[in-house]
Every structure is written in C-alpha cells, then in structure tokens.
Amino acid sequence: MLDNLREFLAHWGIIAISLWFTSFIFHGISFSNKKSLFISALLLGLANAVIRPIVIILTIPLTLITFGFFLLVINALMMLLVSALVPGFRISGFWTAFFASIVVTLISIFVGMVIFPPQDSLFNIPTQEGVMV
C-alpha cells in the first residue's frame, strides 16, 4: 500500500511541476498561490482518470472522423474544467488551454520517464549469466 501512495504522490508532483512550468511559458495561465497549484494538479489528475475516459467514449465518432485530433480538444476541456473549479487557477481562453495541455502532457511524459524509467529499453542488451559481453 505504501508503494501505491508513493506512486500517487509522485504522479501528483509531476502534474504540479508540469502545470507550474507551463504557467511560465503561457502568460494566460496563472496561479494565485501554491495551494491553488496543488489543488489544480490533484483535480486535473482526477479529471483525467475519471471524466476524460467517459468523454472519450462518448465522442468516439468525432475522434475517428478527426483522426484522433479531437483528443487534444478533450485535454483542453479538462484543463478548462479544472480552472473553473479551482479558485486561484486562471486560464485566459480555449486556445491557451489547448496548447498548454500539449505542453503539460509533454513535460509530464518527460519527467515521468526520468522518475519512473521504463523497465524494457531498446538499449538494454540481454546477457546470459556467466557469459562476458
């Protein structure tokens, strides 16, 4: 159970770092204090885990027609939803949320790969025990 808690806290921190860094890139995103940043990160993680899959299922035809690009719109809508719910978290508009969601995703993937390195890598060469390579 302690491992699950550590993983949850690590992912929460990754989202918080991604949001914080994105607020420096986009002037249309701001946090009034650290509390709003951490609450936004928590709610964004929950929205992506609970609400986003439901919305994706409901919009499968639109996603197929747009070759998956509508998923970017769904990501932006999740950010706008969180900004509407959290006092102190402000996003200036849809396009800011659209491009910020892309940046948040990229930063989260990069930081996540540093913290949780993949177990199977293309660069790992399996060796037999007792055989020198």
Put simply, whether the predicted model's pTM sits higher than 0.85 gets the answer no
pLDDT 10s digits, 87-106: 999 999 999 999 999 999 99
Measured CA distances, 122 to 17, 64, 125 (Å)? 28, 31, 8
pLDDT 10s digits, 65-76: 999 999 999 999
pLDDT 10s digits, 3-53: 788 888 888 999 999 999 999 999 999 999 999 999 999 999 999 999 999
First to last CA, the chain: 39
